[in-house]
A = this chain, B = another copy of it.
Amino acid sequence: MTGKAVVVLSGGQDSTTALWWAVDKFGAGNVEALTYDYGQRHRVEIGCAARIAAAAGVPQTVLPINTFEALGGNALTDANIAIDNGRSGDLPATFVPGRNLIFLTYAAAWAWPKKIRHLVTGVAQTDYSGYPDCRRNTIDALATALSLGMDFEFTIHTPLMEMSKKDTVLLAQRLGALDAMALTHTCYEGERPPCGKCQACELRAKGFREAGIEDPLVVA
C-alpha cells in the first residue's frame, strides 16, 4: 500500500503483530508507532512498546492520557480494584468504556497535521474478551466519524479483526515478528516472566499451543 501509517502500539502481542503487518504493507520508513501513557496498571507495557518499535525500525511517540484515571473505577487503571479473572456481568472487569474509540481518535488527531490517512490497530472481535469497541461495526462507524469530523479520509486497518489467537501467532510467524514477541507484555498480573495463570496468559498460551509454536516470551 502507498502512503503513511500510524500504528496504535500498546506493547502487547496483537499490536506488535499489527505493527509488523503495517511495516510489511507500507514499509518501515512510512510507519510510526503511537503509544499511550494512560495510567495503565502495568507501566512496563510502555517500555515494551518502545523496544518493540525500535526492533521494527519505526519511530515511536508516547502520548499522555490523564483522563481515564479521572473517569475512574476500572481494573486496568485502578490498582485498588482486583482483576476479575473472567467476566463480571456482560463485560470484562478490565473494561474502560470507549478506550479504543479514544485511542483511535487521538491517533487520527496526531496523524491529521502530518496528512497520514492510515490508522492501524490490533483489535480483534474473535476469541477475545468481548470489548464492544473492538468490533468491526464499531470501527467502521468510528472511521466515518473521524473522516467527517476532521474533513480528511481516514482508513482504520484491523488486520487481526477476524483472527483467532492461533491465526495471529501464525501471522506473526509469517511476518517475521516472532522474535519481537519476546519483547511484548501480556500478563494481567504484570509479571515478567508472565504468571501463566491469568486469563490473558492463558489465551496467549492457547494461541501458541494451537499454532504449534513456542512462545519466545516464555522460552526467554
B102 x A105 contact (CB < 8 A) = yes
B contact residues around A44 at 8 Å (CB): none
A85 an interface residue at 8 Å Cβ cutoff? no
Query: How far does the Cβ of A39 sit from chain B's closest Cβ, in whole Å?
Result: 11
B contact residues around A102 at 8 Å (CB): 102, 105-106, 109
B contact residues around A67 at 8 Å (CB): 63-67, 106
Q: Which of A56-107 contact B (CB under 8 A)?
A: 63-67, 70-71, 73, 90-91, 96-98, 100-102, 105-106
Interface residues of A (CB under 8 A from B): 63-67, 70-71, 73, 90-91, 96-98, 100-102, 105-106, 108-110, 112-113, 132-133, 135, 137-138, 141-142, 144-146, 148-151
